[in-house]
Structure 1
Amino acid sequence: MVCLRQAFIAACLALCLTTQPALAVDRITSDMVSTALEVQGYKVESVTRTLLGRVRIIASLGPVWREIVLDASTGQILRDYAVEFAPSDLPNPEPGDMPRGGEMLNSPNDLPLQN
């Protein structure tokens, strides 16, 4: 009876150790988001923490500015906000600030094509 119990515990432990990597989920990090933005041609203006401990990334691509908020503990993107400004109204925000105004873009497909 004791041997059966030990065998069962050993089998459970082996099962836990072999399935743990399969259950692990890669979390999105601020470095991953920054790299993805740079690959798309954006200039990352700032990466800061909010009062709630979230990561806030501000990036620009000509007249288009994006603000991405990431939950660092889960890797979930909570917000991806993009606005486009007219060439005559390009903002000059303080470092780390997301400029307000402009025309809100509903999806990445709305972004202007670069020449």
Structure 2
Amino acid sequence: MVKLSRYLKAVCFALLMTAQAAMGVDRITPDMVSVALEGQGYTVESVTRTLLGRVRIIASLGPIWREIVLDASSGQILRDYAIEFTPSDMPDPDPGDMPRGGDLVENPNELSLQN
């Protein structure tokens, strides 16, 4: 009886997760993030996958560079990191790379992902 109860709970949980995934409940997509960044005036420099299967989005707005890491399976934003460079210290990063250095931006623009 105990094994059947565990099995039944596991099946119910799997069905619930499948149903949520099918309906796209509260899932942020890379396209949504890109559109939100472009709406704030950023230029999306690259959208790549990391070794862990996450989506990494690099964007720039003048001297401000922003890196957003998104868990594609859950739609959760795991990292939103912004740095600002002085005009004399502007980087020329390789394509797809987030430049390092600069000053951390305490409150980068809030992403507005609501439709």
TM-score by length of 2: 0.73
Q: 1:105 to 1:25 in 2, by over 3 A?
A: same
Which residue does 1:34 correspond to in 2?
34
Question: In 2, Cα distance between the equivalents of 1:48 and 1:24?
Answer: 22
Letter in 1 for 2:72: A
SS of residue matched to 1:108: coil
SS of residue matched to 1:65: strand
Question: In 2, Cα distance between the equivalents of 1:46 and 1:56?
Answer: 8
Which structure has more relative contact order (CA 8 Å, sep 6+)? It is: 2
| Runs (4+) off by over 6 Å | none
- Deviation per residue, 1:53-73 (Å, 9 max, x gap): 000000000000000000000
Question: In 2, Cα distance between the equivalents of 1:87 and 1:24?
Answer: 42
TM-score by length of 1: 0.73
Map residues 62-73 of structure 1 onto 2, 5 A cutoff: 62-73=62-73
Structure 1 residue 106 displacement after superposition:
1.4
Equivalent residues, number = 89
Letter in 1 for 2:26: D
- Deviation per residue, 1:8-44 (Å, 9 max, x gap): xxxxxxxxxxxx68x8613000000000000000000
Question: In 2, Cα distance between the equivalents of 1:49 and 1:35?
Answer: 18
Larger radius of gyration: 1
Structure 1 residue 103 displacement after superposition:
0.1
Which residue does 2:90 correspond to in 1?
90
Structure 1 unmatched runs, 5+: 1-19, 110-115
Which residue does 1:79 correspond to in 2?
79
Question: In 1, Cα distance between the equivalents of 2:107 and 2:80?
Answer: 9
Report the RMSD for the aligned CA atoms in angstroms: 1.6
